[in-house]
Structure 1
Amino acid sequence: QNLHKQFGEHHAVQGISFTISCGQVLGFIGANGAGKTTTMRLMATLDTPTEGSINVCGFDVIQFPRQVRDKIGWMPDSYGRYALTTVADYLDFYTRAYGYRRAERMARLEDVMAFTDLALLARQDLDTLSKGQAQRVCLARMLLHDPEVLIMDEPAAGLDPKARVEFKHLVRLLAADGKAIFISSHILSELEDMCDTILFIDQGKIAHHGSTEVLKRQDDTTTTVHIKVAADPERLREWIELSPDITRIESTTHGCRASLTSALPGDVAAILRRMIQDGLPVVDFHQEEQKLEDAFIAMLEKLETSS
């Protein structure tokens, strides 16, 4: 709440406020130096805020740091791999550090390794793992003490497509189990499918907090459509040139991409209706969904213009 962090004259975080609920996945986006890492370190009790407060599961991070650490799981973007250490030994070390007794330790290891699909890798050395396998080990370590809040720093970076799909599935399972999940990432397309809410930070301030759909509709004054006709596409191009509310962007094999001056559903439908009435044999007419990356870039450009 109203979180500030200052390093000398540099204000890394400037008055940001947000809430993560149980079962929610929040994606945290921002350019390098925007304040992402500082915010996560504050949440994890690794730094102290200059001003404002952070409450995790009812505990203030300044007054009750030990209780907060019991409630959170931290997954860094990379972790130290110890030579000649197997996956099972690595995770067992951390269960011992958390104070589990033998029976509890074995049960917890079995549960976590089953969830992260590491059972077949139990006797494999850490330094022989692929990037995707290593990330699953890091995730397993974070889950050993069954935390309620999960903080992940660039967890999908460097993963191949298959590993990303598997990781995304695990995140959704954790959310369904009631975990509050905070994910920092530059892979916007991955967050679009994984997260319920997106939080953009720019120069230490929140630039957007809401769903990805809301962000993509922020500049919803025009829309782009793909049109295909079962005829000479030149007829379509000539028709567009005579229509003031539609502009051809580029030609395609049997049609074109075009920009409409209105994004209102009724106006878009009216254009399609006119095309059919004018005898154009339209076989495909669909709106192009704006990509999250494009919306993010447009938002940053708008912020730079206004600053």
Structure 2
Amino acid sequence: MIETVNLTKKYGAFTALDDLNLTVSEGTVFGFVGQNGAGKSTTFQILATLMAPTYGTAYINGLEVTKDPEKVRRVIGYMPDFFGVYDQFKASEYLDFYGSSYGLSQRERSEVIPQLLELVNLSHKHDSYVDLLSRGMKQRLCLARSLIHDPKVLILDEPASGLDPRARIEMREILKELKTMGKTIIISSHILPELAEMCDEIGVIDHGKLIATGSVSDIQEQLQQQKEIVVTVSRELEKSVRFFEDDPDVINVQKGPNGTIQFGYKGSDEKQQVLLKKAVLDDIPLLSFRPIEKNLEDVFMEITKEVEKA
């Protein structure tokens, strides 16, 4: 449904998007994760036909975005990270304006607008002026605007940005409902736990480069280059430290309080089991041997730091 091929955007010597190759299948909710300036909005503006790439191309529903922009706009709904609303309109008038812009008849608009307001939980605000709505309500109204022509694909750039916790939950529930309706959704955010909960797949982008893609569990496995392990011994702390330092897959051994030792481990799970058995055979007085669980956000911060150093 969405495909980019060597998609690149340069501004003079600065590369905002660097050889992006991405595929999003039909009916998938794809989360695009990255810090500010990573290349998310650049990618979305190209997909929305608002910006031309320096080279490379992108396809949506089989249409090349640079060659068939008008046709592409009929199948996408785009919600930018910064958007304008017409404050002098009432909520229903705002949607009516955009419906007419897409060529919907008066009858079609009168049918779809109440449905969209109900979908985004704004039926009770249909007669309210846009400038009197809260930020969360404006965000939901703009999401309804992007749905006015019933697009197959939704391109949502930071739709939960600046929302309070309750408004974030409301937005997440709406996106779940859109998923059940069969929409293909690509959504960007730097709020990793929320994307992990609602998305089928995630792509991590940093400095214009796509550094990992896959399911949440796949992403953790791809990004986490080494495990962090904590060992607790009952005695002979120095001997135990030397034992682990001698293993070629162990790095950065550090002593902690109460007989704890923490280190990075580059080996496989099978090698980890061998190390544990060897420790027992060498009379290392182990009380515990456990990996430190890292969430997606912890791992993301580690890998982006490594990219910055490269």
**TM-score, normalization by structure 2:** 0.79
| Partner residue, 1:104 | 108
CA contact (8 A) 2:40 2:205 kept: yes
* Distance 1:6-1:279 versus aligned 2 partners, 3 A rule: closer
Letter matched to residue 112 of structure 1: L
**Among 88, 91, 94, which residue is 1:90 paired with?**
94
Residue 238, structure 1, aligned to residue 243, structure 2: no
Letter matched to residue 221 of structure 1: Q
Q: What is the 5 A alignment of 1:58-77?
A: 58-77=62-81
CA contact (8 A) 2:78 2:155 kept: yes
| Partner residue, 1:47 | 51
**Among 138, 142, 149, which residue is 1:138 paired with?**
142
> Deviation of residue 123 (structure 1)?
1.3
CA contact (8 A) 2:227 2:291 kept: no
Coordinate RMSD, CA, aligned: 3.2
Structure 1 residues 244-282: Cα deviation after superposition (integer angstroms, max 9, x where no partner)? 669898779xx98966857738958x97xx8xxx997x9
Counterparts of 1:58 and 1:65, CA distance in 2: 12
> Deviation of residue 84 (structure 1)?
3.6
| Partner residue, 1:303 | 307
* Distance 1:137-1:279 versus aligned 2 partners, 3 A rule: same
Counterparts of 2:255 and 2:127, CA distance in 1: 57
Percent of pairs with identical residues:
38
* Distance 1:90-1:293 versus aligned 2 partners, 3 A rule: same
Unaligned runs of 5+ in 2: 245-249
| Partner residue, 1:178 | 182
* SS of structure 2 residue aligned to 1:217: helix
* Distance 1:136-1:256 versus aligned 2 partners, 3 A rule: farther
Letter matched to residue 192 of structure 2: L
Counterparts of 1:290 and 1:71, CA distance in 2: 39
* SS of structure 2 residue aligned to 1:156: coil
| Partner residue, 1:116 | 120
Letter matched to residue 119 of structure 1: S
Residue 6, structure 1, aligned to residue 10, structure 2: yes
> Deviation of residue 35 (structure 1)?
2.1
Counterparts of 1:152 and 1:36, CA distance in 2: 10
Counterparts of 1:193 and 1:250, CA distance in 2: 34
* SS of structure 2 residue aligned to 1:147: coil
Unaligned runs of 5+ in 1: 228-235
286-295 vs 115-124, which moves further: 286-295
**Among 200, 206, 216, which residue is 1:212 paired with?**
216
Residue 264, structure 1, aligned to residue 269, structure 2: yes
Counterparts of 1:152 and 1:194, CA distance in 2: 13
Residue 128, structure 1, aligned to residue 124, structure 2: no
* Count of matched residue pairs: 288
Structure 1 residues 87-130: Cα deviation after superposition (integer angstroms, max 9, x where no partner)? 11111111121121122111111221111111111112211222
Letter matched to residue 19 of structure 1: T
> Deviation of residue 42 (structure 1)?
0.9
* Distance 1:90-1:223 versus aligned 2 partners, 3 A rule: same
Letter matched to residue 78 of structure 1: F
* Distance 1:125-1:217 versus aligned 2 partners, 3 A rule: same
Letter matched to residue 226 of structure 2: T
> Deviation of residue 132 (structure 1)?
1.6
